[in-house]
Chain A
Amino acid sequence: SQKIEQNSEALNIQEGKTATLTCNYTNYSPAYLQWYRQDPGRGPVFLLLIRENEKEKRKERLKVTFDTTLKQSLFHITASQPADSATYLCALPMDSNYQLIWGAGTKLIIKP
């Protein structure tokens, strides 16, 4: 069955630098992949969706790439700010079922 791997260790980045988070999946390539942000004690908030035929998607300081050969999505935050500190989750459809499965998330810490 499909599995998602995200870095379990927190990622510490200096303010102003680019933060890059990784989402790897194990089996088939999904039709799309989503990224969410989750703050402590809050529900996830949708950020971006990228489809399998899209190599890259941008939204303000956010950029997502999708490499079906590597079975990987990268999530970039440019000009990072302390307010970007949060846990970032990736999610994609499970097998031929359209239900989403979720990674455990990567905690991002932006230091001033």
Chain B
Amino acid sequence: EAGVAQSPRYKIIEKRQSVAFWCNPISGHATLYWYQQILGQGPKLLIQFQNNGVVDDSQLPKDRFSAERLKGVDSTLKIQPAKLEDSAVYLCASSPRGGTTVGELFFGEGSRLTVL
């Protein structure tokens, strides 16, 4: 079974530039998450989708971050304009479950962003 695919693995940009990350979850997984992990910290949820609807985006900085999951499969996370503090690893995870039952999450390898 193929795992969660993410790209690019690494990205270096200047502040105020834009960047986009892509995620393809495990086939059949209804729930997709984007997490931000700053070095030395645990993952922080940015947004959760169930199918193509947003379940929770309360911690997404909506003035600069946006995400979509068209057709309920793959997803894109965009940052525009980027700030220095956005330097982090952006992790995508999926789960076959949804709603209030949070079981095992399956993570991708992550996309490491460096903002100069």
Among residues of B, the one whose C-beta sits closest to the C-beta of A91 is B42
B interface residues, how many (CB within 8 angstroms): 24
Interchain CB contact under 8 A, B56 and A99: yes
**A-chain residues with CB within 8 Å of residue B2 when the two chains form the complex:** none
Tell me the minimal C-beta distance from B84 to chain A in angstroms. Answer: 21
Which of B40, B93, B99, B101 meets A43, CB within 8 Å? B93
Would you list which residues of chain A between 8 and 55 have a CB under 8 Å from chain B?
A: 34, 36, 41-46, 49
Among residues of A, the one whose C-beta sits closest to the C-beta of B43 is A102
Which of A98, A102, A105 meets B102, CB within 8 Å? A98
Show 14 residue pairs from A and B whose CB-CB distance is below 8 angstroms, ordered by the A residue.
A42-B110, A43-B4, A43-B109, A44-B43, A44-B91, A44-B105, A45-B107, A46-B104, A49-B103, A49-B104, A89-B42, A98-B101, A102-B43, A104-B42
List residues of chain B with CB under 8 Å of any chain A CB: 4, 40-45, 48, 56, 91, 93, 99-110, 112
Tell me the minimal C-beta distance from B105 to chain A in angstroms. Answer: 6
A1 and B100 alpha carbons, distance in the complex (Å)? 19
**A-chain residues with CB within 8 Å of residue B104 when the two chains form the complex:** 34, 46, 49
Most buried by B among A4, A44, A45: A44
List residues of chain A with CB under 8 Å of any chain B CB: 4, 34, 36, 41-46, 49, 89, 91, 93, 97-105
**A-chain residues with CB within 8 Å of residue B103 when the two chains form the complex:** 49
The SS class assigned to the B binding surface is: loop
Most buried by B among A99, A103, A104, A105: A99
Which of B43, B44, B105 meets A46, CB within 8 Å? B105
Interchain CB contact under 8 A, A102 and B107: no
Tell me the minimal C-beta distance from B89 to chain A in angstroms. Answer: 8
Among residues of A, the one whose C-beta sits closest to the C-beta of B91 is A43
Beyond contacts A98-B102, A102-B43, A104-B42: 6 other A-B pairs, Cβ-Cβ < 8 A, are: A43-B4, A44-B107, A45-B107, A49-B104, A89-B43, A98-B101
A42 and B56 alpha carbons, distance in the complex (Å)? 25
A91 and B99 alpha carbons, distance in the complex (Å)? 17
**A-chain residues with CB within 8 Å of residue B4 when the two chains form the complex:** 43
**A-chain residues with CB within 8 Å of residue B105 when the two chains form the complex:** 36, 44, 46, 100
